[in-house]
Amino acid sequence: MSISIGIHDLSFATAEFVLPHTELAAHNGTEIGKYHIGIGQESMSIPGADEDIVTMAAAAAAPVVARHGSDRIRTVVFATESSIDQAKAAGIYVHSLLGLPSATRIVELKQACYGATAALQFAIGLVRRDPAQQVLVIASDVSKYELDSPGEATQGAAAVAMLVGADPALVRIEDPSGLFTADVMDFWRPNYRNEALVDGHESINAYLQAVEGTWKDYTEQGGRTLEEFAAFCYHQPFTKMAYKAHRHLLNYCGQDTDNDAVSAAIGRTTAYNTVIGNSYTASVYLALAALLDQADDLTGKAIGFLSYGSGSVAEFFAGTVTAGYRDNLRTDANRAAIARRTPVDLAGYRDLHERSFPTDGGDHATERHTSGPFRLAGISGHKRLYQAR
């Protein structure tokens, strides 16, 4: 008998500060409609001086561990493209901050924004091998582009933590998956740069090519028909990309691209990304959180997931929402994570954007900005120092 495996719990965290796009528009003379309507973004999360992918990841994962305990968690998979170390997995810091058992494997995965989906699929394989185990999957990223660059308005920061296990309380992940890889230079960040490089036109084309490629493979592997899906969660580098991608899929399948039909399939998935900004690996699962928190009863309904990571790797797969899922949502906490952010003005944002640690290996403390449960206290001897508040 096949085992039902999927997302048992989902929690997210974001940064301390928020920059409204009205501030950015006033600075660069952009008509605000270009942001609010053109790319579908209203604001973006900005990390404080004492926040990073680890503090957000720990804040996202702590409620999951508090609810379920850690006795069954034998693996933590941390997906990010904002890595803080070329050797040590960021998840090891999270393991320490949360007090997880020593009998745990930790690994960090990287493939642009696709990494969390790879982590989810790896987790499913581990649970299938031993259904008594659970896997903690964390996606945490800070999206950062150069000041006054075309990508600046799409920045953001967030972490999503998912507990993957048998008999999931939220979403059962189905076989098969549709896969697609192409060697393209649409978005990349060499080791010597803090900010990413992006070819915007090429990135959109590569994303749409991946939509076609994954769907073609998904159908050839015996997947569901388009009509069977109640909603679709796309990776959202900016929320209008989800609409663009879904219209492209409908066109590819010879379906009507009526605005109402597209909005019905996509609309509820963009609520959190619209105000948080691009969170790279976390974005498609923020879309899931927004959908589950807002939609009418989805029990037994199929959801399509399109995970895209520049460079590029993509995957299309399906999940079925389980009975009783509403009893396990974190809707109030999710909305509170967004509402708690402190607005920052343009000067404050630009100051935070340009900060970086010295590379001399000395003692460098960070300012106390975050009101969250964990903070990056500073560095000493090239070592990052974290604290639970």
What global pTM score does this model have? 0.98
Q: Hunting for tokens 């597209």 — which residue is that?
A: 262
Note the pLDDT tens digit of each residue in 351-365: 999 999 999 999 999
Residue 262 has pLDDT above 80, yes or no: yes
pLDDT of residue 182: 98
pLDDT of residue 232: 98
Domains located in the chain, CATH noted: 5-388 (3.40.47.10)
- The upper half-sphere exposure of residue 149, i.e. CA atoms within 13 Å in the direction of its Cβ, equals 16
Q: Is 131 exposed, middle or buried (0-12, 13-18, 19+ CB in 10 A)?
A: middle
pLDDT at 1 over 70: no
pLDDT of residue 200: 84
The string of pLDDT tens digits covering residues 3-14 is 999 999 999 999
In this structure, what token pair is assigned to residue 354? Answer: 């340009």
Per-residue confidence (pLDDT) for residue 194, from 0 to 100: 86
Q: What's the pLDDT at 259?
A: 87
Give the pLDDT confidence of 119-148 residue by residue, as tens digits.
999 999 999 999 999 999 999 999 999 999
* Catalytically active residues, by annotation: 81, 113, 235
Nearest partner of 231 among 286, 285, 289, 291, judged by Cα:
291
> Two tokens at 245?
């991608």
Residue 195 is predicted with a pLDDT of 87
Percent of the chain with pLDDT over 90: 95
Model pLDDT, residue 359: 94
Which tens digit of pLDDT belongs to each residue from 200-230?
889 999 999 999 999 999 999 999 999 999 9
As a whole number of angstroms, the distance between CA 315 and CA 6 comes to: 16
First to last CA, the chain: 46
Q: Decide if pLDDT at 231 tops 90.
A: yes
Question: Would the CA dihedral through 285, 111, 62, 276 be positive or negative?
Answer: negative
* Contact status, residue 215 vs residue 250, Cβ threshold 8 Å: no
Name the residue with tokens 């084309």: 205
Strand 342-343 vs strand 43-46: parallel, antiparallel, or unpaired?
unpaired
Task: Provide the token pair at 35.
Answer: 């942001």
Is the distance from CB of 134 to CB of 165 less than 8 angstroms? yes
Q: Are strands 302-309 and 229-234 parallel, antiparallel or unpaired?
A: parallel
Per-residue pLDDT, 133: 97
State pLDDT tens for residues 50-77.
999 999 999 999 999 999 999 999 999 9
Q: What is the average per-residue pLDDT within 170-190?
A: 97
Nearest of 112, 113, 77, 111 to residue 242 by alpha carbon: 113
Take residue 162 and report the two structure tokens written for it: 């998912």
Query: What span, in angstroms and rounded, lies between the C-alpha atoms of 124 and 135?
Result: 8
| Separation between Cα atoms, residue 366 and residue 357, nearest integer Å | 9
pLDDT at 35 over 90: yes
